[in-house]
Amino acid sequence: MIEAHIIPKGFGRLIRGEASNMKLTPDKVREANPQLGEYDPDILCETCDNILGLDDEYALDVWKRFEASHRNLGEDVFELAEVDCERFCKFILSILWRASISRRPSFTSVNLGPYEDLSRDILFGAKRLSDMPAFEVLVQRYLSTSMDPTKWYFHPVRQPFGDLDAYGFGLAGFRIVAKLDNRPFPEGFRPFVLNRSNVFRGFFVPLEQCSEFQSIAGIVRNNARRQAAFSQERKR
């Protein structure tokens, strides 16, 4: 068994750059430890991790070339050419599956239930992604006037999409919506479903209007209040 990262550590390196990664939790803001993201030493052997790593590297390449290579199509829609969207969707599924089989406290909200074994079979080649029609992926790109959203990510959490069962997470500038529900996405979103598509298409969303931004802002404000209170206490 190896130290298998739930979010591939290549993304931790991409986000960190020359600085240190920080970890935000409701009770504090501190330097991340480990620096490249949380791992679980009890879920994967080296051989299996390397198999998943092939799709991890492919997705990382999509991330790296997005900024220079995507096209804006108007009405806040983007496209990126030459992307194997099925493979990209498998990468998203692999993150959810790793989180689901992990017993780490950070991932307790991720439970694929009856889809867990099927997800494993898809990821390791025993079945095809089309064998799980309930799983579909939307991708959005954050825009922000106050921060660089490519420099952070947050863990997948259960996040219903309207009435549909779904998971959501942010990853180096992208917002991921992964549906696990036999009901289809609403009609207006179906042109953006990546599964069975040869077009990597999504739309831009203002970060400041997203619920996750409010969570991040709340954590930072609370941390600042605690730091100020601590400083005042030390002066007494």
How much of the chain is in helix, strand and coil states, percent to nearest 5? 45, 25, 30
Q: What is the pLDDT along the chain (236 residues), one digit of tens a residue?
A: 999 999 999 998 888 876 777 676 766 667 877 767 899 999 999 999 999 999 999 999 999 999 999 999 987 999 999 999 999 999 999 999 999 999 999 999 999 999 999 999 999 999 999 999 999 999 999 998 888 889 888 899 999 999 999 999 999 999 999 999 999 999 999 999 999 898 899 999 998 888 777 777 776 677 667 666 656 666 66
pLDDT of residue 154: 86
In sequence order, what are the residues at sequence separation of 6 or more whose Cβ sits closer than 8 angstroms to the Cβ of residue 72?
78
> What was the pLDDT predicted at 235?
65
Q: How many domains does the chain have?
A: 1
Range of the domain at 69: 4-235
Residue 150: closest CA among 228, 207, 88, 99: 207
Q: What is the DSSP string of 41-57?
A: TTS--HHHHHHHHHHHH
DSSP string, 4-44: EESS-HHHHHHHHTTS--EEEETTEEEE-SSTT--EETTS-
Distance in angstroms (rounded) separating the CA atoms of residues 233 and 55: 51
Query: Would you give the distance in Å from CA 33 to the centre of its chain?
Result: 19
97 and 3 Cβ atoms separated by less than 8 Å: no
